[in-house]
C-alpha cells in the first residue's frame, strides 16, 4: 500500500456534519479527500477526473444519489463507487447495486468498516486482473475453479454442484456484496432470480460445511435483505498480522 | 251519520209521487241537504287540509332533522324542532344514552320523571283527555329513549315523530363514532409522522458521531483511557442508533406504511439467524432452539417475523435470571405455526399480561434496571396481527414466562 500513490476520495453527502466527521480520519490515514454536497456538483468534479473512489450518499436533494450514480457510470464504468445508505432502505441498496455501485455502507457505519470497503474497492481496480481459473485462497479456504475442488485446512470439503457454484460466485467477488438476484441468476438462471428462500437453504448447508460455527459465520456473511458477502481476504491477513479479532458479521440486524 | 240522515230524507222523496209533499219536503229539506252536503264537503276538506298540514309538518320535521348539527347533542334540537314545527304546546325528549330529558314549550309540571318513565315502563299511548302522546323511541326493537308531546297531533303523527327521533339519535351516534375513529386515526398518523421525522433527524447526527468516534480509534495515538472513552461513545451511539431504527419501524407499522412481502420462509434458519444476530445480548444466557420439524415453513414477511422474534428473545434476555436458559420453540399446530420463547425471571402479574403488548406499557412491578422503551412487544403484536395471527403470554413460578406468537402457516388472501 505504501508504494501506491495516495487514494483520492470524493465524498458526496449533503450533510456537512458527515463530511466534517469523515475528513480528519481519512486524511490522517493517508487518503486525499475532496467534498461535494450535491450530485450535480460531484458530476462536474468527476468529469475532470483524478479520483480513485467515490463515497456517494443515497439521500440527497437535487438529482439524488441513485441518479448521480447512473450518470457517473455513463462516463466512468470502472470507477469504484460506494453508496452511503440507511438501514431501513434496503430497496435503495439493491437498486444502487443494480445500477452499478460497487458496494454500500450503512449509516451509522464505523470508520474501520468504511476504510476496509474503500480499500477493497480500490484494490479491485488496481490489482492485476485475476486469471479466471486461478485458485482462490481466503483464510483457511482454498477453491480451485478448474478442478472444482474446495479444501479447508487442507482437508477436502465435499460440495454439491450448486453449492460449489454459489461458493465460486461469492469467493471470486470476496469482500463485496452479491445480491440475491445476481447470485440466483448466475447459479440457477434468470427465471429463479426471486427464489431467495431456495438460496437460503443452500447457503445454510454450505455454512455447515465451511464454517466452524454456522450460526456465527466468518466466511459466508449475510447482508440482511440484500444478499451475501464472502469475507474480505484482507481481513484474514490483517487478523494474523495484527492479532485483531475476526471481523464481526456486520449489519447485526436491529 | 250524515249519510244515513240523507238516505232517510231521500227515501220518502223518491217513493212518493205527491207533488205538494215532495215540494214541501224539498223546500224544507233542500237547504238542509245543501247545508249538510256543504258541511260534509267542508269537513272533508278540513280533514284533508289537516292531513295535508300534518304531512307537510312531518316532511318539514324530516328535512330539519336531516340538517341537524351532529356536533351538538341531538335531544334539545329534536325537542325544539318538534315543538316549533308541529305547533305543540309542549314536548320532552329523553335520550337514554346521555341519560338526559330535554323539554321544550310550556310545561306546568317538570316532565323529567314522566318522560323517563315512558322509557322505563315502555308505555306508548295517547290520552285524548289531556292531549298527551307518549312514545318509546325505538331503533328496531331496542328502546333508545322516549318522547312525550302535548298538542293537536294524531297518534300516527306521534308515531312518526318518535321514529324520526330514533333515526336522528342513530345518525348522531354513528357520526360521533365515526369522528372519534377518524380523530384516533389522525392522531396515530400524526404521531407516526412525528416519530418518523424524529428518527430520520437522528440518523445524521448519529452517523457523524459514530464516524467521529470510530475515526478517533482508527487514527490511533490514543491513551488507554482515551480509547476507553471513545469506545464508550461508540457503544452508546450504537444503542441510540438501534433505538432510532426501532422507533422508525414502529412508526411505519402503526401508520400502516409497511409494505408486507409474503413469501415461504424456512423456520429453522429464521430462528437461527435471529439468535446469531443477538449474539452479544445472549452471551450470558443459555439458548436452546427446539424446532422438531427441520423443514417447517411459514408464509410470512421475513423481515417482520425477524422483528417479532427479535423482540421476544431480546425481551427474554432482559428480564430473565442471569445464566438461565431461554428456550425457543416452533411447531406447527393445525393451520398455524406457533413460536414460543420461554425464560425464567420474575412472574408477570395477571393484570399485566394483556396490557404488556400495548405500546408504552411497562409493568409497574418490573425492576427499573431493564432497559426498554415499552415499544418492543407492541411491535411483536402488530407483526402478528398483520399476518392474521395472535400473541399471548403465560407466566408462573414453575413454568417460567413464555411469550407465544401464532402465525397462520399459509398467508391469508389480501396479505401479499
Predicted confidence at residue B84, as pLDDT, reads: 92
In this structure, are A69 and A101 located in the same domain?
yes
In this structure, are A99 and A165 located in the same domain?
no
* Chains A–B, number of C-beta pairs less than 8 Å apart: 101
Q: For residue A24, give the chain B residue with the closest CA.
A: B215
Torsion angle (degrees, nearest 10) of CA B246, A254, A237, A7: -30
Closest Cα in chain A, distance from residue B280 (Å)? 10
Angle at A128 between CA A125 and CA A129, to 5 degrees: 85
Q: Are strands B125-127 and B132-139 parallel, antiparallel or unpaired?
A: antiparallel
All cell numbers assigned to B280 = 452479544
User: Is the residue at A2 inside a domain?
Assistant: no
Q: Which of residues 132-191 of A touch B (CB under 8 A)?
A: none
User: Is the residue at A94 inside a domain?
Assistant: yes
The CATH fold of domain B264-408:
Heat Shock Protein 90 (3.30.565)
| Separation of CA B299 from chain center | 30
Task: Give me the residue from B211, B241, B264 closest to A18, CB to CB.
Answer: B211
3-state secondary structure of A54: strand
Task: Give me the residue from B207, B212, B276 closest to A107, CB to CB.
Answer: B207
Q: Are strands A8-12 and A32-36 parallel, antiparallel or unpaired?
A: parallel
Q: Is A215 in contact with B277 (Cβ distance < 8 A)?
A: no
CB B371 within 8 A of CB B408: no
Q: Is B269 in contact with A24 (Cβ distance < 8 A)?
A: no
Closest Cα in chain A, distance from residue B290 (Å)? 15
Any A CB within 8 A of B212 CB: yes
Q: Which of A126, A144, A171 is the last residue before a domain boundary? A: A126
User: Is the residue at A249 inside a domain?
Assistant: no
Q: Is B245 in contact with A87 (Cβ distance < 8 A)?
A: yes
Please choose, from the candidates A61, A98, A101, the residue with its C-alpha nearest in 3D space to the C-alpha of residue A80: A101
pLDDT at A122 over 60: yes
All residues at 6 or more sequence positions from B91 whose CB lies less than 8 Å from its CB, including other chains: B79, B82, B83, B103, B104, B105, B147, B148, B149, B150
In this structure, are A147 and A115 located in the same domain?
no
Predicted confidence at residue A56, as pLDDT, reads: 96
In this structure, are A79 and A18 located in the same domain?
yes
Helix (H) / strand (E) element for B203: namely helix B155-219
Any A CB within 8 A of B59 CB: no
3-state secondary structure of A249: coil
Q: What is the CATH number for A66?
A: 3.40.50.2300
Break chain B down into helix, strand, coil percent, rounded to 5: 55, 20, 25
pLDDT in tens, chain B (416 residues): 444 444 444 444 444 455 665 565 556 666 666 766 777 777 777 777 777 888 888 889 999 988 888 888 899 999 999 999 998 999 999 999 888 999 999 998 899 999 999 999 988 999 888 889 999 999 888 899 999 999 888 888 899 999 999 999 988 888 888 887 777 777 777 777 777 777 677 888 999 999 999 999 888 888 999 989 998 998 888 888 877 777 777 777 776 667 777 888 889 888 988 887 777 677 788 889 999 988 898 989 888 898 899 889 988 888 888 888 899 999 999 999 999 999 998 888 877 777 788 765 555 554 444 445 556 788 888 899 889 999 999 988 888 999 999 999 887 654 44
CB A171 within 8 A of CB A148: no
Closest Cα in chain B, distance from residue A211 (Å)? 14
- Residue among B200, B215, B247 with most chain A CBs within 10 A, to mutate: B215
What angle do the packed helices A180-187 and A161-171 form, to 10 degrees? 130
Range of the domain at A179: 136-242
Q: For residue B208, give the chain A residue with the closest CA.
A: A18
* Interval A166-213: pLDDT, tens: 999 999 988 889 999 999 999 999 898 888 888 888 998 899 999 988
- Within 8 A of B208 by CB-CB distance, chain A residues are 15, 17-18, 20-21
Task: Give me the residue from A22, A109, A201 closest to B266, CB to CB.
Answer: A201
Predicted confidence at residue A253, as pLDDT, reads: 36
- Rounded CA separation A17/B203 (Å): 11
In this structure, are A14 and A112 located in the same domain?
yes
Any B CB within 8 A of A115 CB: yes
Task: Give me the residue from B203, B218, B306 closest to A253, CB to CB.
Answer: B306
Provide Rg for chain B, Cα atoms: 39
Any A CB within 8 A of B54 CB: no
Closest Cα in chain B, distance from residue A114 (Å)? 9
Any A CB within 8 A of B237 CB: yes
In this structure, are A57 and A88 located in the same domain?
yes
User: What mean pLDDT comes out for the span A23-49?
Assistant: 93
Predicted confidence at residue B204, as pLDDT, reads: 85
pLDDT band at A248 (very low <50, low <70, confident <90, very high): very low
In this structure, are A160 and A111 located in the same domain?
no
Please choose, from the candidates A45, A27, A23, A28, the residue with its C-alpha nearest in 3D space to the C-alpha of residue A36: A45
- Within 8 A of A204 by CB-CB distance, chain B residues are 266, 269
Closest Cα in chain A, distance from residue B64 (Å)? 54
- Rounded CA separation B389/B304 (Å): 13
The CATH fold of domain B69-175:
Beta-Lactamase (3.30.450)
In this structure, are A67 and A102 located in the same domain?
yes
pLDDT at A112 over 70: yes
Predicted confidence at residue B357, as pLDDT, reads: 82
pTM exceeds 0.80, yes or no: no
The total number of residues written for chain A in this structure: 254
Q: Please state the domain count of chain A.
A: 2
Any A CB within 8 A of B277 CB: yes
In this structure, are A15 and A122 located in the same domain?
yes
- Rounded CA separation B76/B72 (Å): 9
User: Is the residue at A146 inside a domain?
Assistant: yes
Q: Which of A64, A93, A126 is the last residue before a domain boundary? A: A126
Query: Percent of chain A scored above 70 by pLDDT?
Result: 91
In this structure, are A174 and A73 located in the same domain?
no
Predicted confidence at residue B24, as pLDDT, reads: 56
ipTM above 0.85, yes or no: no
User: Is the residue at A152 inside a domain?
Assistant: yes
pLDDT band at A27 (very low <50, low <70, confident <90, very high): very high
Any B CB within 8 A of A215 CB: yes
3-state secondary structure of A254: coil
Amino acid at each position: 500500500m505504501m508504494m501506491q500513490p495516495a487514494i483520492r476520495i470524493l465524498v458526496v453527502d449533503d450533510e456537512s456534519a458527515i463530511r466534517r466527521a469523515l475528513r480528519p480520519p481519512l486524511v490522517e490515514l493517508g487518503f486525499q479527500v475532496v467534498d461535494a454536497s450535491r450530485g450535480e456538483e460531484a458530476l462536474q468534479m468527476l468529469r475532470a477526473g483524478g479520483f480513485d473512489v467515490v463515497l456517494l450518499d443515497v439521500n440527497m436533494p437535487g438529482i439524488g444519489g441513485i441518479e448521480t450514480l447512473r450518470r457517473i457510470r455513463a462516463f466512468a464504468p470502472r470507477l469504484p463507487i460506494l453508496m452511503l445508505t440507511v438501514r431501513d432502505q434496503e430497496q435503495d441498496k439493491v437498486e444502487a447495486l443494480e445500477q452499478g455501485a460497487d458496494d454500500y455502507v450503512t449509516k451509522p457505519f464505523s470508520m474501520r468498516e468504511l476504510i476496509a470497503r474503500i480499500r477493497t474497492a480500490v484494490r479491485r481496480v488496481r490489482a492485476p486482473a485475476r486469471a479466471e481459473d486461478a485458485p482462490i485462497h481466503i483464510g483457511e479456504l482454498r477453491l480451485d475453479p478448474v478442478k472444482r475442488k474446495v479444501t479447508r485446512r487442507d482437508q477436502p470439503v465435499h460440495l454439491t454442484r450448486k453449492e460449489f457454484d454459489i461458493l465460486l460466485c461469492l469467493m471470486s467477488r470476496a469482500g463485496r456484496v452479491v445480491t440475491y438476484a445476481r447470485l440466483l441468476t448466475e447459479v440457477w438462471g434468470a427465471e429463479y432470480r426471486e427464489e431467495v428462500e431456495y438460496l437460503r437453504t443452500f447457503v445454510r448447508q454450505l455454512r455447515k460445511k465451511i464454517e466452524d460455527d454456522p450460526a456465527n459465520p466468518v466466511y459466508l456473511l449475510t447482508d440482511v435483505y440484500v444478499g451475501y458477502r464472502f469475507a474480505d481476504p484482507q481481513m484474514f491477513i490483517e487478523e494474523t498480522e495484527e492479532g485483531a479479532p475476526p471481523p464481526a458479521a456486520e449489519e447485526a440486524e436491529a | 251519520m250524515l249519510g244515513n240522515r240523507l238516505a232517510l230524507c231521500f227515501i220518502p222523496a223518491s217513493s212518493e209521487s205527491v207533488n205538494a209533499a215532495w215540494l214541501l219536503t224539498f223546500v224544507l229539506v233542500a237547504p238542509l241537504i245543501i247545508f249538510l252536503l256543504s258541511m260534509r264537503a267542508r269537513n272533508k276538506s278540513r280533514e284533508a287540509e289537516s292531513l295535508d298540514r300534518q304531512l307537510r309538518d312531518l316532511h318539514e320535521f324530516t328535512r330539519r332533522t336531516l340538517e341537524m348539527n351532529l356536533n351538538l347533542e341531538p335531544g334539545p334540537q329534536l325537542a325544539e324542532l318538534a315543538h316549533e314545527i308541529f305547533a305543540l304546546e309542549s314536548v320532552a325528549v329523553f335520550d337514554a344514552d346521555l341519560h338526559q330529558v330535554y323539554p321544550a314549550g310550556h310545561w306546568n309540571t317538570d316532565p323529567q320523571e314522566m318522560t323517563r318513565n315512558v322509557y322505563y315502563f315502555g308505555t306508548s299511548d295517547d290520552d285524548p283527555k289531556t292531549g298527551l302522546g307518549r312514545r318509546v323511541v325505538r331503533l328496531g326493537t331496542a328502546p333508545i329513549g322516549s318522547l312525550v308531546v302535548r298538542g293537536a297531533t294524531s297518534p300516527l303523527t306521534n308515531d312518526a315523530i318518535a321514529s324520526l327521533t330514533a333515526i336522528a339519535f342513530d345518525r348522531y351516534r354513528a357520526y360521533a363514532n365515526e369522528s372519534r375513529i377518524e380523530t384516533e386515526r389522525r392522531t396515530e398518523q400524526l404521531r407516526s409522522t412525528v416519530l418518523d421525522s424524529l428518527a430520520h433527524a437522528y440518523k445524521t447526527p448519529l452517523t457523524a458521531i459514530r464516524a467521529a468516534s470510530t475515526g478517533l480509534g482508527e487514527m490511533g495515538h490514543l491513551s488507554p483511557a482515551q480509547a476507553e472513552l471513545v469506545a464508550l461513545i461508540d457503544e452508546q451511539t450504537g444503542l441510540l442508533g438501534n433505538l432510532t431504527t426501532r422507533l422508525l419501524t414502529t412508526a411505519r407499522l402503526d401508520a400502516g406504511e409497511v409494505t408486507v412481502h409474503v413469501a415461504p420462509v424456512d423456520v429453522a434458519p429464521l430462528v437461527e439467524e435471529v439468535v446469531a444476530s443477538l449474539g452479544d445480548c445472549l452471551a450470558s444466557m443459555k439458548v436452546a432452539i427446539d424446532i422438531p420439524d427441520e423443514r417447517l415453513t411459514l408464509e410470512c414477511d421475513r423481515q417482520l417475523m425477524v422483528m417479532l422474534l427479535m423482540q421476544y428473545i431480546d425481551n427474554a434476555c432482559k428480564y430473565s435470571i442471569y445464566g438461565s436458559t431461554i428456550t425457543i420453540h416452533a411447531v406447527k399446530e393445525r393451520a398455524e405455526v406457533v413460536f414460543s420463547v420461554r425464560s425464567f425471571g420474575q412472574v408477570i402479574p395477571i393484570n399485566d399480561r394483556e396490557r404488556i403488548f400495548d405500546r408504552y406499557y411497562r409493568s409497574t412491578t418490573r425492576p427499573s434496571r431493564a432497559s426498554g422503551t415499552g415499544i418492543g412487544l407492541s411491535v411483536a403484536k402488530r407483526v402478528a396481527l398483520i399476518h392474521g395471527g395472535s400473541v399471548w403470554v403465560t407466566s408462573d413460578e414453575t413454568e417460567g414466562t413464555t411469550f407465544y406468537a401464532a402465525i397462520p402457516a399459509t398467508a391469508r388472501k389480501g396479505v401479499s
